[in-house]
Every structure is written in C-alpha cells, then in structure tokens.
Amino acid sequence: MLQLREVSYTYPMAKEPILSNLSFTVEDKKAGIIGPNGCGKTTLLHMMVGLIKPDKGELLFHGRPVTTKQDLRTLRKEVGFLFQSSDDQLFSPTVLEDVAFGPLNLGFSPGEAREIAVRTLEDLGLSGFEERITHRLSGGEKKLVALATILAMRPRILLLDEPTNNLDPKTTSRLIEILQDLDLYQIIISHDWDFLSHTTSVLYMIDHGHIHRCQKDHIHVHRHVHAAGDHPHTHNL
Ligand SMILES: Nc1ncnc2c1ncn2[C@@H]1O[C@H](COP(=O)(O)OP(=O)(O)OP(=O)(O)O)[C@@H](O)[C@H]1O
C-alpha cells in the first residue's frame, strides 16, 4: 500500500546522503524501526508522508507515484503520522476542537465531527477532556490527544515517531494497550526496546543510509543487552 522505492536524500549543506538508494514497503502489520541517533529514522517517516521529497527514487501509494497535491491529500487520509513533539500536532484551543478538526476536514458535518471526536476520546479513555485547554495538558495527555486527532480520521496506516519520549511508565503502558488493540498498520520508531517488544512483531534497522530487516537472534541479543541495563546507544542501535 505504501512504499519507498530506491530513495536517496541529502539534507542541504550535508556532505553525505542520509538515506541512500533505500527501499521500504509497509507490509508487516506492526513493525519497529531502530537505529542510532541521527541515522535518518525521522527523515524516513517524513518521506513516507510526503513531508520530505526524495532527491532520487519515489514514494508510491497503492502502487502509484505520489506527485501532486491531490495524491498527497489522498495519502494523508489513510496514513496518520504521530509527530515526535505533540506541540507540532495540536493547535486548537480545546481538545474537542483539535480532535474534530480532522473529520471536519474530511467533509463530515460539525455535528458528525463532534460525535466522532467524542467517541474517539472515549475509546482512548479521555472522556471528560473535551473542553480542556490543549496547551495546558501534560506531556502524556498531549501525546494521547495527539493520537486521538489522528485516529479520528480513521487511518489505515499509523506512523509513530518515538511515541514514548517523556512518557511515564503508566502512560507508556496505556499507549501499549491502545496500540495493541488497534487493527491497523503501525510503523514505530523507538529507542525503547521494551515498548517495541510489546507493540511490534518485526524490527528494521537503519544503518549508513540503508535499511535492513533484523533477524530474530539479532533482536534477542539486543533486547538482552537492553534488559541488562546497558545504554542501547553504546551498542549501536
Ligand atoms: N532540516 C534539516 N536540515 C539539515 N539536517 C537535518 C535536518 N533534519 C535532520 N537533519 C540531520 O539529518 C540527520 C538525520 O536526522 P533524523 O531526525 O532523521 O534522525 P533520527 O534517526 O530520527 O535521530 P534520533 O534517533 O536522534 O531522533 C541528523 O544528523 C540531523 O541532524
């Protein structure tokens, strides 16, 4: 459904490409993407929603190249993106307005959009948040509301960029439960091995501009290292 084919990308002023002739297809229902800081994980997800255009290669959606604004609109109806920073996602005064914004944009009437928003908040255990002032929410509350703004649009694919950053263990557990219950494609960037082990069934690693599917034993070794309390970055994740 969603595919990057042989893409390369170099940031302006950078000497080396951050992604190089990389191909990636959303085919596993729940996949994690790992790799060291700065290896290009966020760049990859941004490319998959058309926020970054590859210098070479193409983004395909349902087998067709995404080139026009209309192609992008179609893609974004079905592909939701949870930003690393919730403040990049939330902009309305109240939670209800923020969550209803997507459905309104999709053409639902104000009444229908409100109903969808209320139901989505309820599904995420956020009933009672409707009239809360969005920018006054805690970081964890913002993360769940940001997720609600996406789920209200009923996407088929969900891309999540380091969703557990700054979440406490209780909110992380809540997020795990929510993601486990969601029957849609999920691609998750994370440095949190425990979280990935609960939410994904396959892992991909970005390394020197390329992406590899990790072998099972490789995953076990790294999980063991992480469980032993070592810092994952020292092991080149
Ligand atoms: N707009 C930009 N202009 C120039 N360089 C950028 C830009 N955005 C990101 N980079 C650089 O590109 C590299 C890849 O960034 P990216 O955010 O994709 O990495 P990442 O793997 O998600 O890292 P992390 O795990 O730290 O979040 C980094 O070295 C970053 O500094």
Check residues 175 and 226 and name the one with the higher pLDDT.
175
Q: Would the ipTM clear 0.85, i.e. be above it?
A: yes
43 C-alpha vs ligand 1 centroid, how far in Å?
7
80 C-alpha vs ligand 1 centroid, how far in Å?
21
* pLDDT of 11: 96
209 C-alpha vs ligand 1 centroid, how far in Å?
12
Question: Beta strand pairing status for 79-82 and 157-161?
Answer: parallel
Q: Is the pLDDT of residue 222 over 90?
A: no
Structural domain range at position 29: 25-40+73-235
Please write the tens of the pLDDT for every residue from 66-100.
999 999 999 999 999 999 999 999 999 999 999 99
Question: Beta strand pairing status for 64-65 and 56-61?
Answer: antiparallel
Q: What angle do CA 192, 49, 82 make, to 5 degrees?
A: 40
Question: Beta strand pairing status for 30-34 and 202-207?
Answer: parallel
Q: Is the minimum distance from the CB of 17 to ligand 1 under 6 angstroms? A: no
Tell me if 3 is assigned to some domain: no
Tell me if 126 is assigned to some domain: yes
Structurally, the chain folds into a number of domains equal to 1
Tell me if 209 is assigned to some domain: yes
Tell me if 194 is assigned to some domain: yes
C-alpha torsion 178→90→167→38, nearest 10: 110
Tell me if 113 is assigned to some domain: yes
Tokens matching residue 126: 């956020």
Tell me if 18 is assigned to some domain: no
**pTM (2 d.p.):** 0.90
Q: Is the minimum distance from the CB of 41 to ligand 1 under 6 angstroms? A: yes
Q: Is the pLDDT of residue 25 over 90?
A: yes
CATH number where 103 lies: 3.40.50.300
By percentage, how much of the chain surpasses pLDDT 90?
Answer: 89
Which residue has a Cα nearest atom 10 of ligand 1?
A: 11
Which residue has a Cα nearest atom 7 of ligand 1?
A: 11
Tell me if 129 is assigned to some domain: yes
Tell me if 219 is assigned to some domain: yes
Residue to probe by mutation, ligand 1, list 15, 16, 39, 208, most atoms within 8 Å of CB:
39
Please write the tens of the pLDDT for every residue from 109-122.
999 999 999 999 99
Q: Is the pLDDT of residue 236 over 70?
A: no
For range 196-217, the mean pLDDT: 90
The whole-angstrom separation of Cα 26 and Cα 48 is 10
59 C-alpha vs ligand 1 centroid, how far in Å?
20
